[in-house]
Structure 1
Amino acid sequence: FTAQAERRVRLGLVVAELVRANNLQATPEQIKAHVDELAASYERPEDVKRWYFGDNRRMAEVEAVVIESNVTDFVLGKAKVSEKAISFDELMGQA
C-alpha cells in the first residue's frame, strides 16, 4: 500500500510541475466546451449545464479532466510514439 501511495504522490507532483512549467492550466473556454460536450448527450442540456456550473466541486472535477487532457496532449506531442501489435494476454501481462 505504501509503495502505491508513494507512486501516486510522485506522479501527482510530476503532473503538477508539467502543468506549471508549461502553462497547461484549464482555460474558462476549455471548461465551458467540456461542460457543453457533456451536456449535449442529455435531453435537456441547459439543465445539465446549470447543474455543473452550480456546484464548485463538479466544476473542479471538470477542470481536473481538462487539465489531464492538456497534459496528455502535451506529452503525446513531445513523445515519440510507435505502435506495436501484441496479443491481449501479452497486454495483460499473462503471456
Structure 2
Amino acid sequence: MESKIFNLSLPLKITVALVISFWCLIAVFPLLWIFVMSIKLPVDSFASNPLEVIFGPATKLQVGGLSIINFLVIGVTIYVLYKIYQLRFSFFSIVT
C-alpha cells in the first residue's frame, strides 16, 4: 500500500520544494550574516547605509574584495572535497 504523500501532483511537489528552499534560505541567513560581518571592518559593519554594510567599501579599499577567482577556487575546493567524501563511502562499501 503506497502512501498518498508519494503521489503528489507535479505543481504541488514544485510548491513544496520552493517553500522548503525559501525556508532554508531564511534559516541560514543569520549564519551567513555573522560570517560576512566577521570579515568586515567595524566601519562597514555599523554603517548607517545598508548598501555600505553589504558591500563594505572601506573594507574593500583597505583589504581588497573577493574576486571571481576566489569564488571559483572555493567552488572547486568544495566540489573536490564532496567527491572525496562520496568516494570514502563507496570505498568502504566495496571493502566490507
TM-score by length of 1: 0.29
TM-score by length of 2: 0.29
* Higher helix residue share: 2
Tell me which of the two structures has the higher relative contact order, counting C-alpha pairs closer than 8 angstroms and 6 or more residues apart.
1
Which structure's CA Rg is the greater one?
2
